[in-house]
Amino acid sequence: MSAEPGHCTSTQIGPGFARITPQSSSKDNRCWQYVFVGLRAGACPHFYPGGIMNTHRFFPVAAIPLGVLLFTLSAQAQEHTNPSPDDRLQMLMDMVDRQQREISSLKQRLTDIEMAQRGRGLTAWDTAQIAQVSPGDGSAAGSAGTPGGGAAGAKGPSSATPIGETQQMQKSTSESQRTPAEEAVVQAQHAPLFDHKLTIDTGISYSYYDRRQLVLSGFLALDAIFLGQLNLGETKANVWTFDVNTRYGINDRLSVAFDVPYLYRNSDFISGGVGGAASSISDISKNSANIGDVNASLYYQLVKENANWPDIVASLRVTAPTGTSPFGIKLGTPDPSNNNLTTPSRLPTGNGIWAFTAGLSFLRTYDPIVLFANLAYTYNVARTFDDISTIEGTTQPAKVKLGDIIQVGAGMALALNDKTALSISYSTAISRATKTATPGGAYTTVAGSSTNAASLNFGINYAINKHWTVNGYVNAGMSPDAPNYVIGLRFPYTF
């Protein structure tokens, strides 16, 4: 075989083989043209490294597809050796897709484990320990597939985690596992948030109070016949309360709160006996609006929820007599034709005394159920007033000691999902009798002043986002001393 002079040289290296070498490094492709010319003539060159080609004669029909195949294989080899930017991007996207599928699989596995533990009496802390995932392969801690598996792995976290970090993780696991709905329940029923979080909680509530009283003025004749007057009195009280509560977490255990209420009161006083006729009725309405008794609170977290203990928070609240006092309010007869009806000249918006309340609150999470309970004792400080008389034109100074109050409550909340929770609870406030003392005299008990206000409470908590929460509640009175019902909404915002 010979090459075109001046462009390439041909050297015979064996039977049927020759080496073709271009004489110039320019883009002169006439040597390759010669090869294709030989191919069309019936020569079937087989290229090897260095330009070696086989010049055995074959049929032209068989030589054409063989040459095309060789060029195709050569192009594919070069493509795999130097992938294009698009190919590299596609490879990276495939890797990301595989990793996303692995992450989704791990999340589903964790969800299945948590769902399997629900209803078995395990706390959120216990569930988190069971569902703890080791980074890397996604297998549960203590399993045979992890380095910390076997008997040693079953006793606790992997040995690769420092002991101090493990204990810190265990302390905060229960709080980190709470859903936004459960956090809303914690704020509404237990204690404010800690750890440098500022919360402004605005609320509005409406309470309704309705009481009927039968008054007998006369005597019994022959122990069977009543001689005198019958008077049926009724009082309807409507109280609207708007308050702003500001809470701030000083650290991860200490928090302070300050609450300012504003009250609007409307009361209707109804009594029969106008003009001596039992069928005639007098109806007088009274209104008042003023600031209520402001209070400041201090919360300290004694125990953080863990495997053995519930979350325990101690609180201390101080209430100042900033509202209008109920003592010294004069009673009058606004209807001259009905002496049976007496009404106050104004309506109070406060208790008129200083009060200190110490309490304990307990909370335990059994996902998806949250149990809570509270106990509080209120000490009312005795105070001397210049006048406590209700008779117009009469002044009576005295020292008043309102009865101390014991408050007990307990309930549960059910998280429907990660944003919504329903709660039900029962609470009661038992107040001892009020005592009064004239200057220099001893205390005397005011008859009928002890109370027991019990209520059944229903609530719903909805977390709009990580900042806003809406808490709604309805309280139904269970005793004569409690309001008939209370309806309220609160809107805490956490910065």
The answer on pLDDT for 182 being more than 70 is no
Write down the pLDDT at residue 33.
43
Tell me the pLDDT of the chain averaged across its residues: 74
Write down the pLDDT at residue 230.
55
The answer on pLDDT for 220 being more than 90 is no
Specify the range with the lowest mean pLDDT, choosing from 97-111, 252-266, 428-442.
Answer: 97-111
The answer on pLDDT for 63 being more than 60 is no
The answer on pLDDT for 81 being more than 80 is no
Write down the pLDDT at residue 398.
92
Q: Walk me through the domains of the chain, giving residue ranges and CATH numbers.
A: 8-81 (no CATH), 110-176 (no CATH), 178-494 (2.40.128.130)
Write down the pLDDT at residue 158.
40
Indicate the helix (H) or strand (E) that contains 322: none
**Higher confidence at residue 371 or residue 4?**
371
Specify the range with the lowest mean pLDDT, choosing from 137-151, 341-355, 367-381, 453-467.
Answer: 137-151
Write down the pLDDT at residue 238.
95
Query: In sequence order, what are the beta bridge partners of 426?
Result: 410, 456
What is the band of 215 on the pLDDT scale with cuts at 50, 70, 90? Answer: low
Mean pLDDT, range 176-198, rounded to an integer: 67
Spell out where 273-404 has E strands. Answer: 281-291, 295-303, 311-319, 331-332, 343-344, 355-366, 369-380, 383-385, 398-401
Write down the pLDDT at residue 360.
95
Give 52's contacts (C-beta < 8 A, 6+ positions apart): 13, 17, 18, 19, 46
Q: Nearest-5° angle of CA 344, CA 346, CA 348?
A: 105
Write down the pLDDT at residue 441.
87
**% of the chain surpassing 90 pLDDT:** 35
Write down the pLDDT at residue 418.
83
* pLDDT tens readout for residues 227-254: 555 566 788 999 999 999 999 989 888 9
The answer on pLDDT for 161 being more than 80 is no
State the Cα–Cα distance between residues 336 and 284, nearest whole angstrom: 12
Write down the pLDDT at residue 129.
44
pTM: 0.63
Write down the pLDDT at residue 23.
54
Write down the pLDDT at residue 204.
96
Specify the range with the lowest mean pLDDT, choosing from 255-269, 309-323, 339-353, 419-433.
Answer: 339-353
Q: Which two tokens stand for residue 133?
A: 């995932």
* pLDDT tens readout for residues 331-351: 888 877 777 778 888 899 999
Q: DSSP H helical segments within 190-287, as ranges?
A: none
The answer on pLDDT for 12 being more than 50 is yes
* pLDDT tens readout for residues 357-388: 999 999 998 888 889 999 999 999 999 999 88
Mean pLDDT, range 305-330, rounded to an integer: 92
* pLDDT tens readout for residues 99-128: 888 898 888 777 766 655 544 444 444 444
Write down the pLDDT at residue 92.
86
State the Cα–Cα distance between residues 256 and 192, nearest whole angstrom: 8
- Residue 484 burial by Cβ neighbours in a 10 Å radius (0-12, 13-18, 19+): middle
Question: Phi/psi at 434 (nearest 5 deg)?
Answer: -80, 145
Mean pLDDT, range 414-439, rounded to an integer: 92
